[in-house]
Amino acid sequence: MTPSEPNRRRVLARLLAAGGALFLASCDRLSGTAWFPNLLDSGEKLSQVTQHLVTSRQSMAQEFAEPDLSPTFRSNGSANPDDPRYQFLAAGEFAAYGLKVSGLVEHPATFSLAELHELPARTQITRHDCVEGWSAIGKWKGARLSALLSRVRPKPAARYVVFYCADPMDDEGTKYYESIDMEDAYHPQTILAYELNGQPLPIANGAPLRVRVERQLGYKMAKYIMRIELVSSFANIGEGKGGYWEDQGYEWYAGI
Ligand SMILES: Nc1nc2c(c(=O)[nH]1)N[C@H]1C(S)=C(S)[C@@H](COP(=O)(O)O)O[C@H]1N2
Ligand SMILES: [Mo]
């Protein structure tokens, strides 16, 4: 799916929602014709898509209770970025860390960890699903991305939030990065997490800061976030697909 797909599909969803009753009524009249079963098939698929889009993009991901927590929250992908700047920051317990927020914003700014802790926070117990076939339930606490955005004030042209990470993924030094659209950026469960299970976020899970985008798959949840940029397209970033794994062929919208 291309980055513009969600938009196109949203428009489609609105059209379908508006025309749904009409469509169902005409189904009634159409039953009995030879080609009807076919139409119903695609109609059913369409309505699944419609329901998914109309409900799930705004709805909340399931939340769990303390007894549901996985005994340990495993680490996947990078577990300790092989990067001198990162290692310097980690050695000082991230006291010198600053999250730079730039791009299509009125007020570019850099946030210290203390400043990130002062932003309105949210705590949530959610299930993380990795495409590699494992899941884990963890309790995350972090600054609401919406609160950070209200500080930097996105310009109207901003369409995506891009997260740049510390960890190199290959010998050329290509670094992990990810992106989400403004709808997910403002979702109440989208947080910049600095705590896991009541403890400071471990390095293995993305210290000092990783994003939680709870209605998407694990690879969207960028760890080791060093910098955030608001952009109108991915044209000049990596291979232009919106993320490290997307550049290797993964879906940009990894909804579950
Ligand atoms: N910077 C960075 N973020 C990343 C990854 C990574 O390798 N580097 N792996 C992704 C994948 S595939 C998953 S499943 C989760 C794993 O998070 P965890 O290490 O906390 O389990 O982080 C995601 N975010
Ligand atoms: Mo993953």
Distance of alpha carbon 96 from the chain centroid: 26
**Distance between CA 60 and CA 50 in Å, rounded?**
17
- What pLDDT score does 164 carry? 99
- What pLDDT score does 54 carry? 61
The secondary structure of residue 70, as a DSSP letter, is -
Q: Is residue 159 within 8 Å of 180, Cβ to Cβ?
A: no
The structure's pTM equals 0.82
Q: Which run of H or of E encompasses 161? A: strand 160-168
The segments of the chain whose pLDDT lies below 70 read 1-56
Sign (positive/negative) of CA torsion 5, 251, 246, 140?
A: positive
Q: Is residue 209 within 8 Å of 190, Cβ to Cβ?
A: no
The preferred substitution site among 74, 169, 201, 219 for testing ligand 1, maximizing ligand atoms within 8 Å of CB, is 219
Q: Is residue 238 within 8 Å of 174, Cβ to Cβ?
A: yes
Q: Is residue 20 within 8 Å of 50, Cβ to Cβ?
A: yes
The secondary structure of residue 105, as a DSSP letter, is B
Atom of ligand 1 nearest to the CA of 177: 1
- What pLDDT score does 206 carry? 99
- What pLDDT score does 242 carry? 98
User: Exposure pattern of 124-136 as b/e (b: 16+ CB <10 Å)?
Assistant: bbbbbeeeeeeeb
The secondary structure of residue 157, as a DSSP letter, is T
Decide whether any atom of ligand 1 lies within 6 Å of the 167 Cβ. Answer: yes
Decide whether any atom of ligand 1 lies within 6 Å of the 75 Cβ. Answer: yes
Per-residue pLDDT tens digits for 80-101? 999 999 999 999 999 999 999 9
User: From the CA atom positions of the chain, what is the Rg in Å?
Assistant: 20
